[in-house]
């Protein structure tokens, strides 16, 4: 062996050190590329979602109330033509593929209802593309952070599939709660407009111009539908159906009864507004009293999941017996079942019907 030669025992160590030296820059580059891609995607989606809240769009939307061919129709047709994700070739191909999948599986109606209730200006194919991108992105990120552990990639894939639905549910719940909170004042505004001599469509137009989202957005859609020929009661019933509001269904029922048998609709709306205001006050009081239980439910439900994700990233070999042995698989199944039962029980305990 020459003086410059290395012993055979040092070759594996040198190869491992070289691989580690090469792997670190690759890992850093992959993480930077991943976060840049996620930033661009999130900025695109948020920009499309908040486009309607910009001052110029609000002004154009107000001007479009007095015409059937205004800005809103052109904006909706442009979004329908190009989509929220853009008009690039890759985006169009992905959306077309997702659209064929939704038509084949019959998922369009179900997801569209959820997106409308949450106020997200996306179609079902676009939502599926975003969900797939989130699942693949989290899976690759977890795979890189865990140095190539398959269990971490599987956990990232599951989280990527579940987190968009969780965010959709949270946004839908917040929008419905905001709608219920604005409903008494909206009914009082309608009653005041009717007492001032306005017709019901004119009173709805007042709510659209003076109200705040989501109430103004939903009433704007009802107003446009009524201008296109739909009866006002049916347009208002569509609001109750999209927002899943039993309280507003009672309002629509009162409007239908008044149209059939006559009477003072303004006084009727004022009475309903007083009742709904008391219900909202009681609903808020119940939420305050049950805040501790709801927080406990969130913590107890999220703690096992977060701890499992941490172990999958930090020490995947520690979790290997959980799916490589029958006892471990049984413990996982039992844990998931018990966690689901506990979460369901906590939600039933802290939920009080008002």
pLDDT at 94: 67
* DSSP-H helix ranges across 228-264: 232-243, 246-261
Q: Helix count (H) and strand count (E) of the chain?
A: 15, 0
Label residue 5 by pLDDT band (50, 70, 90): very low
In order of 83, 216, 238, 297, the CA distances from 76 in angstroms are: 10, 17, 19, 40
Is residue 280 within 8 A of residue 182, CB to CB? The reply is no
Q: Over the chain, what is the mean pLDDT?
A: 75
Burial class (CB in 10 A: 0-12, 13-18, 19+), 125: buried
pLDDT at 91: 63
Angle between helices 215-227 and 232-243 (to 10 degrees): 150
Q: Is the pLDDT of residue 7 over 70?
A: no
Predicted confidence (pLDDT) per residue in 35-85, tens digit: 555 554 554 554 444 444 555 555 555 544 444 333 343 444 444 445 555
pLDDT at 16: 46
Q: What's the pTM?
A: 0.65
Higher pLDDT, 159 or 30: 159
pLDDT at 120: 82
Is residue 231 within 8 A of residue 71, CB to CB? The reply is no
Q: In whole angstroms, give the CA distance from residue 288 to residue 258.
A: 37
pLDDT at 168: 87
pLDDT at 305: 85
Query: Which of the listed ranges 98-112, 175-189, 259-273, 291-305 does the model predict with the highest average pLDDT?
Result: 175-189
pLDDT at 98: 66
Residue from 350, 14, 319 nearest 155 by CA: 319
DSSP string, 142-172: HHHHTTS-HHHHHHHHHHHHHHHHHHHHHHH
Q: In whole angstroms, give the CA distance from residue 71 to residue 39.
A: 30
- Provide, rounded to the nearest whole percent, the portion of the chain with pLDDT above 90: 1
- Provide, rounded to the nearest whole percent, the portion of the chain with pLDDT above 70: 68
Higher pLDDT, 149 or 179: 179
């Amino acid at each position: 062996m020459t003086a410059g030669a290395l012993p055979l025992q040092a070759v594996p160590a040198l190869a491992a050190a070289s691989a580690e030296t090469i792997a670190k820059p690759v890992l850093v580059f992959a993480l930077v590329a991943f976060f840049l891609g996620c930033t661009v995607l999130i900025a695109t989606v948020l920009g499309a979602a908040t486009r309607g809240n910009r001052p110029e769009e609000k002004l154009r939307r107000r001007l479009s109330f007095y015409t059937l061919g205004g800005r809103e129709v052109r904006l909706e047709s442009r979004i329908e033509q190009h989509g929220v994700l853009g008009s690039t070739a890759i985006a169009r191909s992905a959306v077309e593929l997702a659209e064929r999948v939704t038509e084949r599986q019959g998922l369009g109606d179900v997801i569209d209802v959820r997106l409308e209730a949450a106020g997200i200006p996306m179609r079902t194919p676009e939502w599926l593309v975003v969900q797939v991108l989130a699942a693949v992105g989290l899976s690759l990120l977890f795979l890189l952070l865990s140095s190539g552990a398959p269990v971490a990639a599987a956990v990232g894939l599951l989280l990527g599939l579940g987190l968009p639905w969780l965010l959709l549910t949270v946004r839908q719940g917040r929008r419905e709660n905001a709608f219920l909170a604005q409903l008494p004042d909206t009914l009082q505004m309608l009653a005041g407009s009717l007492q001032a001599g306005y017709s019901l469509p004119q009173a709805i137009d007042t709510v659209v111009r003076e109200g705040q989202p989501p109430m103004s957005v939903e009433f704007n859609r009802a107003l446009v539908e009524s201008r296109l020929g739909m009866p006002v009661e049916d347009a208002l019933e569509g609001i109750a159906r999209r927002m899943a509001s039993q309280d507003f269904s009672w309002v629509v029922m009162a409007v239908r009864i008044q149209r059939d048998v006559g009477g003072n609709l303004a006084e009727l709306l004022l009475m309903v507004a007083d009742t709904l205001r008391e219900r909202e006050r009681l609903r808020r009081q119940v939420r305050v009293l049950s805040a501790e239980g709801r927080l406990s439910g969130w913590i107890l439900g999220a703690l096992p999941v977060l701890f499992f994700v941490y172990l999958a990233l930090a020490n995947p070999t520690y979790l290997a017996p959980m799916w490589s042995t029958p006892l471990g698989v049984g413990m996982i199944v039992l844990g998931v079942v018990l966690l689901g039962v506990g979460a369901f029980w906590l939600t039933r305990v802290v939920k009080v019907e008002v």
